[in-house]
Each structure stands twice: as structure tokens, then as C-alpha cells.
Chain A
Amino acid sequence: EAGVAQSPRYKIIEKRQSVAFWCNPISGHATLYWYQQILGQGPKLLIQFQNNGVVDDSQLPKDRFSAERLKGVDSTLKIQPAKLEDSAVYLCASSAGMLGRGGEQFFGPGTRLTVL
């Protein structure tokens, strides 16, 4: 079974530029998550999708971050404009259902973003 795919793996941009990350979840997984992991910290949930609908985006900085999952499969996360503090690894995860009920989250390798 193929895992969660993310691209690019690395991205370096200057502050105030825009950047987009792409995620392809495990086939058939209805739930998709985007996390931000700052160096030395645990992942922090940014947004959770159930199919193409948003379940939770309470920690997404909506003035600069946006995410979509138009067809309920792939997802993109965008930052516009980027700030220095956005430097982090952005992780995508997917699950077949609810946690503890066959809904284990599978993580992709992440995209490491460096903002200069």
C-alpha cells in the first residue's frame, strides 16, 4: 500500500513570497490533516478535512494560510505571504475514519520550509 505522498520535500523562499505544498493521501482515506512542526516541537494541527469539507481549522492562521481539498482526494496548503516564523516542516496525514475506530493517522515525510 502506497503511503502519504508530499511534495516538494524541501523549499527555500524569502519572506513575503508565496509557497504551496501538495499532499496525496492514502487511497480511500476520507480524512486529511495538515500539521506544522517547528524544530524541536511536536506537530501542531493546522486543518482537518473530512472528504472535501473542513472539520477543524481553528489553528490555521487564516490571514496568510489557506488549504483546499476540492475533490476530496489531493490537498494543497498555501502560505501567502510567508514570514520567518513559518519555517517548519509541514506534515500531511490521512486516516480512513475516526481515531480509535480504524482511523489511525498515517503521516507523509513532510515538506521542510525555510523562510529567509
Chain B
Amino acid sequence: GESVGLHLPTLSVQEGDNSIINCAYSNSASDYFIWYKQESGKGPQFIIDIRSNMDKRQGQRVTVLLNKTVKHLSLQIAATQPGDSAVYFCAENSGGSNYKLTFGKGTLLTVNP
């Protein structure tokens, strides 16, 4: 089975609220994680990444948290906007030095104006 999964398949928030998207992974050897955003009809777009030697990384309006103890990854989006509506995937490097990405199933984020 897949080694990366998501707790919530859908998330609906109000514009301006903060969003939190969660992801569980099972491969304790994974050393690199990425969050992707995929809009309808488009390929996945890189949002933010984090290496396993970190527990938090911040970008513009986004923060990724990594908890290796419970093998959990989360994406926080501050002040969510309608343009943030998309499917969000977490992915882990499961291939060691070959950098092979394993994607989770995705969470659909809907932002209500």
C-alpha cells in the first residue's frame, strides 16, 4: 500500500481563516518531504519542502511542520484566499539517493468567500 496518506480528504474554510492540512507517512527512512498544490487541469506545483533534520520551515503564508516521532507532516496556510482552493498533496522521498517521490492521496481545499 501507499506509505503516505492524508487524514482529511476535504477541507472547507472561510476566506481569511488559517488552513491546516495533515499528512501521515509510514516510511521512517524518508529524509525529504514536499507539499504540492494542484489546480484543476494543471500539474502539481511546488509549495514548500522540508528535510528530515528540520521540524519547521516557513515560506510566504505557508508553514510546514514535521513530527518524526509520530511520522506526521502538516501544511499551514495563513489568511487563506480563494486562489488557494486546490488539491494539496504531500510527497516523501522514498528512494534514498535516487530521490523517488511517493505521493499521498491529496486533500481538496475549498475557500469560501
Using a CB–CB distance below 8 Å, which chain A residues touch chain B?
4, 40-45, 48, 55-56, 91, 93, 98-100, 103-110
Contacts and interface: CB of A to CB of B under 8 A. Distances in A.
Given A100-B51, A107-B45, A56 B100 contact: yes
B99 A98 contact: yes
A56 B44 contact: no
A18 B44 CA distance: 27
A36 B99 CA distance: 17
Contacts, number: 58
29 contacts: A4-B43, A40-B105, A41-B105, A41-B106, A42-B2, A42-B89, A42-B91, A42-B104, A42-B105, A42-B106, A43-B89, A43-B101, A43-B103, A44-B103, A48-B98, A91-B43, A98-B99, A99-B34, A100-B49, A100-B93, A100-B99, A103-B99, A104-B49, A105-B46, A106-B46, A107-B43, A107-B44, A109-B41, A109-B43
Given A43-B101, A56-B95, 17 more contacts: A4-B43, A41-B103, A42-B2, A42-B89, A42-B103, A42-B105, A42-B106, A43-B44, A43-B103, A44-B103, A56-B98, A100-B93, A104-B46, A104-B49, A105-B46, A105-B101, A110-B42
A47 to B, nearest CB: 11
Nearest to B41: A109
Identify whether the interface residues of A are mostly helix, strand, loop, or mixed: loop
B32 A99 contact: yes
Interface of B: 2, 4, 32, 34, 41-46, 49, 51, 89, 91, 93, 95, 97-106
